[in-house]
Structure 1
């Protein structure tokens, strides 16, 4: 396979970019135990966005992995998961925000604390995406456990250094991607996330 550049998202920051239909987005955890929040919008109609509810409905599971397809709020396929080295990701919880740190973390934590929501707003703003358009994100490598009573617990990510998730774009997309800023999601540390884009039609192996 021809080499394509790897882009690094520094800890507690984000990036925005476009994908063409057929492009493969490779999201890599270079050091292990680091979550990455992903959000996508149809490039020609940003009112169409990646939907956790539709995705759960049509896949009949909350645990998404190789072979599953990710749907938009208009029930169109946005991504197909081609390769999943980890097997545990979250699509239940919203991106961390200032309010997350105010409500769930110790007093004073929110002041000056970066957030995935803020980083997505910054990354997607140049594409005309407004803050209120950003819903629940696909939290790649996030280890969310749901017990028999429905209680949600966030465990340390099980991703190891170099493991990846590969997603094929099924339409032209605007994408936001972060290196998550929440201590509780990343086992108390902040590390980078790497990604690369393999153009449509290029073999991935």
Structure 2
């Protein structure tokens, strides 16, 4: 099931209409117009960008890992993958990818999962679920914690064992690698730039990512 479909983009950063660096552990939420292209850049390498997408006009129709995996018959994402909503509607299409594989199964860290995976002492630590909810709260009730769903972990390497289990391994990304997606409808992107300090995949050192948007 490995996918390493690395395809570079011809888009240049200086022509982007939007360019922002998201600090380690910070969040970002932004609406994309149909046809706009979003690039997420792994600035230092092996940083996990936990990401969700919503139909901006119908937020209850959010990204569905099940629909996406079933349609493409692969658990990993790369160039050509269509990210689908729960209705089956295409939300975005990956049009370029220099990493080559992204996780759909590992989910976002939370206070509860940190205590199970690591130790009870990690309970108060910053986590992606809290970052998601903090960003959604800025939309005055349009999004709530009920809208959270299994997310994409861009740049994260989570192989599936022969027994069906998950392992969190060293990343397959590197400094400057990116994934680029074209929005197929009016879409809301929600990112938690993972603050995880307990997973060795990022050398216990969360780092910034960069987001750019182009008019296609």
* TM-score, length of structure 1 as denominator length: 0.93
**Is 1:69 paired with 2:82?**
yes
CA distance in 1, matches of 2:147, 2:43: 30
Report the equivalent of 2:134.
122
1:57 deviates by 0.6
Query: How far did 1:6 drift?
Result: 2.1
CA-atom RMSD in angstroms? 1.3
Superposed structure 1 runs of 4+ greater than 3 Å apart: none
Question: How far is 1:159 from its partner?
Answer: 1.0
Separation in structure 2 between the aligned mates of residue 38 and residue 107 of structure 1, nearest angstrom = 26
Please give the per-residue CA displacement for 1:84-108, whole angstroms capped at 9, x wherever unaligned. Answer: 1111211112211111112111231
- 2:61 is aligned, of 19, 28, 48, to 48
Measured in 1, the distance between the counterparts of 2:106 and 2:161 equals 15
Give distance in 2, aligned partners of 1:191 and 1:55.
28
Structure 1: gaps spanning 5 or more residues: none
SS at match of 1:143: coil
Deviation of the 1:55 alpha carbon: 0.2
Of 192, 207, 212 in structure 2, the residue corresponding to residue 191 of structure 1 is 207
Report Cα offsets for 1:149-186 as digits up to 9, x if no partner.
11210012221111100011111011111211223153
8 Å CA contact 1:25, 1:198 repeated in 2: yes
User: Contact (CA 8 Å) 2:103, 2:158: kept in 1 or not?
Assistant: yes
Q: Residue 17 of structure 1 aligns to a residue in which SS?
A: strand
Q: 1:94 aligns with which of 104, 107, 117?
A: 107
Alpha-carbon distance in 1 for matches of 2:99, 2:60: 31
TM-score when scaled to structure 2?
Answer: 0.88
How many Å separate the matches in 2 of 1:143 and 1:187? 14
